[in-house]
Amino acid sequence: MAANVTLSPLGQFLRSPSQWSVDSSPITALVAGLAVVLTSAFFLRLSKSDKVYDLGGIPVLTAWNFFKKRFDFFQAHFKKSNGKMFRFRHRVVAVAGEQGRKAFLNDQSLDMTQGYKILFGGVPRLEDINIQTRTGEPDSRAFVNRLLSLLRKERVADVLPVLLDDVHNRMLDWGTMGRINPFKEVYDLVFQMTVRMATCRELAEDKQAIEELRRHYFNIEQSTTPVAVLLPWFPGQARKTREKATLGLYLLIRKFVTMRRKAKVPSSDPIDVFMENGDSDEVIISTVMGIMFAGVVNTGVTACWALLKLATNPKWKERAIEEYTALVTKHSNTLSTEPLHKRLASIPLNAWEDELPSVDLVIRETLRFTVSGSLLRRNVQKDIVVDGVTIKRGDFMAYPTFEAHMNPDIYSNPESFDPDRYLEGRGEDKKELFAYVAWGAGRHPCAGMKIAKLEIKLVLALVLLGYKYDLVNEAGKYPDILPEPDRNDLVLGMPLGEPCYLKFERVKE
């Protein structure tokens, strides 16, 4: 079981100062931590191998950019290793190439939950505030099962009109003309839908509570510093910020869980579904926190970048508009005077999923372009051998998605936005096994892929059909340099350089 897997000697030492009898004062903790940092390089020797490149050095310093600038870290060290596997002294092995992807994504010994739990610091966890949620079932399986219970087709079909109402109401706050920061306003649209899909009506219709939730998630993301991840016991400001924000999330969600438990009439809302399944308050809160984090991170970023990419690619913008127009014409009353979001609500779920092929290509290409973080795993079973390198039980593995997504041997001119590259006859994503991993792959496909794609399509429909919009810079002009994603920003996916905005005018109610 994953619970029996032990950390490396360094990991145990860094994570649990209470076990080696130091007091909890910051000065003592800092001195002890520095002692560990300076001596660990001598105690944790890795065997030499011509199959794997050993970064060496002082572990915390070597790993610093893995947690600070992960994209740059992988690029630099794969260049040094001439593209072969490398490892560093937190027992992390970075893999590349088709064989590396195959083992990483298919081997049953590798656990996704354990990998992200320790190496990805942005996920809110109740254990950070000493609240346990154990149910006796493996965490990842239990979480996915609860998520899937909310994503049954009939449930999604029923809630689709409500999602459109939510997004429409949020967009009314934009006014009829102006400019927006998509990485705030569009991101908030996805956050709103995710709250609706993960919680209850009372919370989804409470703007103040939603803003408080968003603020807590932002504070957790901002507290994910290298020190906070490498030395999670260190009583610094980042840890305090994280604990305060996690406690805020817990208390806010618990308020609405308690409200639903006291309700005289049950509903079909997610929190009630979890209650009917017999889940405790802590399990419900933990599940809601996880769904919201998973739902917002990639989906919100993708919706923002899809609008930006369409703004800089008129051909694809026009194709998407034509496709949405045809969808509305086919599935709604063309003589109707109802507002746009009501007409969109009459479109059946299967049409949203199956009748927007160009939009599907746009989303797929946007994800290839923007999903540039790393996939993480931990070996929780037995030693395994990957391309001649032994991955020991307890070791971590990392795979940087850009190694496939931005690989010119797989994708021609990978920096260009070219949704046609997936069409039959080109099929660039089929050149190698698992050459496209934005929706997961192998043993861990994304359980929320369909709802994520639906949410993106709803946002695109309301913007493309309801507004004229253009990409502008701070001065209100078309930017001289088009925005590119900061690939070191693992959560928010903000653009590099000067701020960018969408200048809009509403053309349809």
Residue 343: Cβ within 10 Å count: 20
Q: 15-22, long-range: CB within 8 Å, 24+ apart, which pairs?
A: 15/232, 15/233, 16/233, 17/233, 18/233
Distance CA 317, CA 337 (A): 25
Contact 59, 40 (CB under 8 A): yes
HEC secondary structure over 376-431: EEEECCCCEEECCEEECCCCEEEEECHHHHCCCCCCCCCCCCCHHHHCCCCCHHHC
- Rounded Cα–Cα distance for residues 155 and 152 (Å): 5
CB 124 within 8 A of CB 217: yes
- Burial 299-309, CB ≥16 within 10 A → b, else e: bbbbbbbbbbb
Does residue 495 contact residue 186 with C-beta atoms inside 8 Å? Answer: no
Structure tokens that stand for 208 in this block? 């103040």
Helices and strands of the chain, counted as H and E runs? 21, 13
* Dist CA 219 CA 227 (whole Å): 16
CA gap 438, 405 in Å, rounded: 9
Q: CB within 8 A of 431, min separation 6: which ones?
A: 409, 410
DSSP string over 153-195: HHHHHHHHHHHHHHHHHHHHTT-SEEEE-HHHHHHHHHHHHHH
Calculated CA dihedral for residues 32, 33, 37, 39, nearest 10 degrees: 20
Q: One-letter amino acid identity for 273?
A: V
- Dihedral (Cα; 342, 344, 347, 350), 10-degree rounding: -130
Is residue 479 within 8 A of residue 498, CB to CB? The reply is yes
The per-residue DSSP string of 171-182 comes to: HHTT-SEEEE-H
User: Residue 200, annotated ligand binder?
Assistant: no
> Residues forming the annotated binding site for heme?
446
